[in-house]
Amino acid sequence: MRHGGKRKGSGRTPLPEDQKRIAKTIYITPEQQNDIDRFARGSSFSEKCIDLISAQIERKKRLENREVKFIDLFAGMGGIRLGFENAFREKGFEPKCVLSSEIKDYAAKAYKKYFKDTEVSGDISQISTEDIEDFDFLLAGFPCQPFSSAGLQLGFKDTRGTLFFEIERILKEKRPYGFLLENVEGLVNHDGGRTLSTIVNNLKQLDYFVSYKLIDSKYFGLAQSRKRVYIVGTRDAHISLDNFEERTTVLGDILDHNLPTVDSTFTKKLFEHFTLEEVVGKAIRDKRGGSGNIHSWEIGLKGETTPEQTEFLNLLLLERRKKKWAAEIGIDWMDGMPLTEKQIETFYKRENLREFLDELVDMGYLTLEYPRKKENNRRVPDETKPKGYNIVTGKLSFEFTKILDPNDLAPTLVAMDVSRLGIADNGGLRRLSIREGQRLFGFPEDYDLSFLKEREAFDLLGNTVCVPVIKDISERLADMYGA
């Protein structure tokens, strides 16, 4: 009986010819050895050399091909894509979008109308990574869901349960050259900074050089102050987000003229008490005091007030914000607490005070309510405390919440109240137009939202990105990509 010999199926599977390693000898200086150890990735000298050689070959291919592929996630109106494409085209590349993802129906309609023939996929969490064509850059203005609840059991070591996880999943499996992410200002301090730290650390663990910064659009030629967090990364090196060329403008530079004005009960009341010049630059709200605010009782919106009533309401507006009342009431301080008749008497002496206060309640300028205590991170009425008088502060009940100053900047536009911003025009007031809103974000004049409902268009604007900021950042990505 014969023993030994090669069994069927034993031994290593032969490698294809194009995968077999070829032994080569190179001669390097000690300085080059140090540079390889410092800059290359790999556990062995051979792996480090291959890392550097592969990176240089990829650069040569990019310079020869000049095509840059990208995916556009949580795409909205496509503002990130616009800035990215403009920057790369000016640098001599031909950008090609291989996937766009957006779940909001009217956002997808606007996107497809502008970018022509572009298919917009839906929920990115339902798209397999295998179904995504290889690409070079991932772009995303991702929603910032509460990481604190998603990471409660994980000590913030994981992002599962948040939409950022979809970005991480795709970067990990597709390994593109780089990414550009945008998020709201609040991400910086969300959950004490741990959310942003989780995001940045997880991106670094995917072998990216990561940079991030809070950047204000007002320094990029836009007439809007809009602070947003920008996060970028590449395989090669950090991208600086400092020292961009500053350019400034004011609202008047982008406004149209002689558009139809609003003739309503609100505007009539406003102009019975103030001139057009007096309201420009003013906020119209009952939550704050100061000379920059006009209050409902100052225009008789719920009924004409006497000088005494106006004086008292302005006094209470400020007094109710003092922290000493929280200690006396026995609640955590909040910005605007109800004060009892007895508490009001300490700073406002008047006969028949209760009747005076109740009349303002009947008019709708005051409300009688319980103070609010903190309960599970929410404010709920504390019925163990006596009721007090408080200002009625429903900002969005006003037809206009701010009259913009053409010699200044627009405030940060948000979807909730962008349609309530007023413009002085033609001797009266009108709303900020959709076209003017687009200019505040740097969208081109041929980007058309006119086919949407006004509510839908303003919702898109309130959630979009500042195209010139994206373009300036993308120029630096293009320089690194083509280096």
pTM listed for this prediction = 0.82
441 assigned to some structural domain: no
Is it the case that residue 19 has pLDDT exceeding 80?
A: no
Boundary (domain end) residue, out of 65, 93, 122: 65
Is it the case that residue 245 has pLDDT exceeding 90?
A: yes
| pLDDT 10s digits, 299-344 | 999 999 999 999 999 999 999 999 999 999 999 888 889 999 999 9
If asked whether residues 75 and 162 sit together in one domain, one would say yes
Boundary (domain end) residue, out of 13, 43, 65: 65
Tokens 């291989």 found at: 98
Residues taking part in catalysis: 144
If asked whether residues 99 and 41 sit together in one domain, one would say no
Is it the case that residue 415 has pLDDT exceeding 80?
A: yes
If asked whether residues 82 and 49 sit together in one domain, one would say no
If asked whether residues 145 and 209 sit together in one domain, one would say yes
Give the distance, in angstroms, between the CA of residue 480 and the centroid of all CA atoms in the same chain. Answer: 25
Of 11-15, 80-84, 370-374, least confident by mean pLDDT is: 11-15
State the DSSP H helix or E strand holding residue 91, giving kind and residue range, or none if neither.
none
Of 109-113, 195-199, 274-278, least confident by mean pLDDT is: 195-199
If asked whether residues 58 and 75 sit together in one domain, one would say no
177 assigned to some structural domain: yes
If asked whether residues 224 and 353 sit together in one domain, one would say no
Contacts of 457 (CB under 8 A, 6+ apart): 434, 437, 449
Distance, in Å, from the CA atom of 74 to the CA atom of 78, rounded to the nearest integer, reads 9
If asked whether residues 117 and 139 sit together in one domain, one would say yes
Supply the range of the domain harboring residue 40. 24-65
3 assigned to some structural domain: no
| pLDDT 10s digits, 351-402 | 999 999 999 999 999 999 999 998 887 889 999 999 999 999 765 568 999 9
If asked whether residues 131 and 50 sit together in one domain, one would say no
What is the arithmetic mean of pLDDT over 124-143?
93
Report the percentage of the chain scoring pLDDT > 90: 70
132 assigned to some structural domain: yes
Contacts of 85 (CB under 8 A, 6+ apart): 95, 97
If asked whether residues 75 and 214 sit together in one domain, one would say yes
183 assigned to some structural domain: yes
Q: At what angle do helices 30-39 and 45-65 cross, to 10 degrees?
A: 80
If asked whether residues 93 and 207 sit together in one domain, one would say yes
Contacts of 152 (CB under 8 A, 6+ apart): none
Position 220, amino acid: F
pLDDT score of 154: 44
If asked whether residues 135 and 207 sit together in one domain, one would say yes
pLDDT score of 216: 98
Q: What is the CATH number of the domain that holds 97?
A: 3.40.50.150
Distance, in Å, from the CA atom of 238 to the CA atom of 477, rounded to the nearest integer, reads 10
Position 155, amino acid: G
If asked whether residues 32 and 82 sit together in one domain, one would say no
Question: Nearest 5°: phi and psi at 57?
Answer: -65, -40
Work out the pLDDT band at 149, boundaries 50, 70, 90.
very low
194 assigned to some structural domain: yes
Is it the case that residue 28 has pLDDT exceeding 90?
A: no
Contacts of 480 (CB under 8 A, 6+ apart): 178, 234, 236, 237, 239
Boundary (domain end) residue, out of 333, 360, 393: 393
Is it the case that residue 86 has pLDDT exceeding 50?
A: yes
Distance, in Å, from the CA atom of 89 to the CA atom of 104, rounded to the nearest integer, reads 28
265 assigned to some structural domain: no
Total structural domains within the chain: 3
Average pLDDT of the chain is 89
409 assigned to some structural domain: no
